[in-house]
């Protein structure tokens, strides 16, 4: 088979176009758990709280790290005065948010397997328990909403309640 100059040019042009379209996707580094949380519309309060508490480096670190992130609705369920006081107190907020972080990879669902009981130690040094409430998984008493959103340094799980000590 003989390749004409015109056919070779078309082939080369096609390859260059394909590479230029694929290059941005290849260059992007997978998101950290904080970057991933920031992409979720229902976690804006959690992300703002992480910034206020000064936990950015913890959630952008090498990991692995698992985050149980309360949704915006979970924060809204706190009484208004308590929520305002919490979000205005970086030290207390840091302690509470560390209770939502595990410095290890904990996958809530692995194929047909799911964590239904047991506990792990969270980054605040307290036990974080898992259980079933009917057919729903609970984490520290909060219901798991979305599980195992993967990032480069761990995963994010969303929960329906702020875990207060």
pLDDT of residue 102: 96
Per-residue pLDDT at 112 exceeds 60: no
Strand residue runs (E) in 47-164 = 65-70, 101-102, 109-110, 113-114, 118-121, 127-133, 136-139, 142-151, 154-159
Per-residue pLDDT at 115 exceeds 60: yes
Contacts 24+ apart (CB under 8 A), 2-5: none
Q: How confident is the model at residue 157 (pLDDT cuts 50, 70, 90)?
A: very high
- How is the chain split into domains, by residue range? 29-159
- Range 29-159 classified under CATH 2.140.10.10: no
pLDDT of residue 135: 85
Q: How confident is the model at residue 117 (pLDDT cuts 50, 70, 90)?
A: confident
Per-residue pLDDT at 14 exceeds 80: no
pLDDT of residue 27: 41
Residue written as tokens 């410095």? 103
Q: What is the rounded average pLDDT for all residues in the chain?
A: 85
């Amino acid at each position: 088979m003989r390749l004409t100059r015109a056919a070779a040019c078309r082939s080369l042009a096609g390859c260059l176009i394909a590479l230029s379209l694929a290059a941005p996707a290849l260059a992007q580094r997978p998101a950290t758990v904080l970057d991933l949380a920031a992409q979720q519309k229902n976690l804006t309060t959690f992300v703002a709280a992480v910034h206020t508490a000064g936990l950015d480096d913890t959630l952008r670190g090498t990991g692995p790290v698992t985050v149980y992130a309360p949704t915006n609705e979970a924060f809204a369920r706190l009484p208004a005065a308590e929520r305002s006081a919490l979000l205005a107190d970086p030290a207390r907020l840091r302690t509470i948010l560390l209770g939502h972080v595990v410095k290890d990879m904990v996958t809530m669902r692995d194929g047909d397997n799911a964590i239904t009981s047991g506990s792990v130690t969270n980054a605040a040094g307290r036990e974080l328990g898992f259980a079933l409430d009917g057919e729903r998984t609970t984490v520290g008493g909060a219901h798991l909403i979305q599980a195992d959103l993967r990032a480069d340094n761990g995963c994010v799980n969303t929960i329906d309640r702020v875990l207060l000590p």
